[in-house]
């Protein structure tokens, strides 16, 4: 029995190491996906600013967007992000709620 103990311990260490490696790998992949989503939304915000927001502000008497234009700008930014993403990042973005997406867009806009 005593001679089996080192083999059992070694086997457990290998199994635990494999589980930890898998969990860490999955965590890092999810962080990469989140980064890819954030970057695509940032690109969408920048493109929307260049193609829609500037012109809308220029056309407005007070130089500000209306609530409807703000909603349209958010939708354009999100739409652009959805168009440029592929693979797991696109799948993850599709699972985000509208509230979460709009919140991310607001954070990005405030950071610019």
Task: State the residue for tokens 């190491």.
Answer: 17
Q: Which residues contact 54 (CB under 8 A, 6 or more apart)?
A: none
What's the CA gap between 107 and 93, in Å, rounded? 16
Domain range enclosing 47: 4-111
Q: What's the pLDDT band for 1 if we cut at 50, 70, 90?
A: low
Residue pLDDT, tens place only, 48-74: 999 999 999 999 889 999 999 999 999
Domain count, the chain: 1
pLDDT above 80: residue 23: no
Helix ranges restricted to H, 49-97: 54-59, 67-84, 87-95
Residue 52 DSSP code: I
- How many residues are present in the chain? 112
């Amino acid at each position: 029995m005593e001679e089996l103990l080192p083999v059992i311990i070694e086997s457990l260490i290998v199994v635990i190491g494999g589980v930890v490696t898998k969990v860490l790998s999955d965590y890092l992949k999810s962080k990469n996906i989140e980064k890819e989503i954030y970057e695509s939304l940032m690109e969408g915000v920048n493109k929307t600013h260049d193609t829609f927001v500037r012109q809308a502000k220029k056309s407005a008497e007070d130089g500000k967007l209306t609530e409807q234009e703000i909603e349209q700008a958010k939708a354009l930014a999100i739409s652009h992000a959805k168009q440029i993403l592929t693979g797991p990042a696109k799948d993850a973005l599709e699972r985000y709620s509208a509230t979460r997406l709009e919140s991310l867009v607001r954070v990005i806009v405030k950071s610019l």
